[in-house]
Amino acid sequence: MEQSRPSVEEILRAMADNLGEEPRPMVLMSRVVPEWVPRQAQERKFVFDLPNVPAKYKHLIMIAVASAVNSHMCTETFVKLAHRAGVTDAEIGEAILAARFALASTVFATASDGLEHLVSRVEAGERA
């Protein structure tokens, strides 16, 4: 016998229960492309069911990425979900600091070609 799938409304209620409030972007998306809502829920389940990275670390990665890409709403949502899953304030703070460090460090990598140019000019005896 085929197992019945939850309706979009049921999924949105489960998301709200998990978050502790209405998942506004998903509610809005349900009005535009309702077929996406079950897929979003399936993808979250898929990620959290993967066995090698503990759920706590997955929460911290999600917070760090959302922070790094400047998604205020996702950062807040992921912090709330992490808290509800038992992740501590200190762990969340460290994840945000690690994201800040990683993002700041990318400036050097991004500037490498420009720095190479400057170094080659200095090595060639050119002045700025």
The single-letter DSSP state of residue 6 is P
> 53-128 has which CATH code?
1.20.1290.10
* HSE value, Cβ hemisphere, 13 Å, CA-based, for 56: 8
- Tens-place pLDDT, residues 33-56: 999 999 999 999 999 999 999 999
**Contact partners, residue 79, CB within 8 Å, separation at least 6:** 63, 92
Q: pTM for the complete prediction?
A: 0.85
What are the structural domain ranges in the chain? 1-51, 53-128
- Tens-place pLDDT, residues 80-90: 999 999 999 99
* Residue (of 99, 62, 97, 100) closest to 83 by Cα position: 62
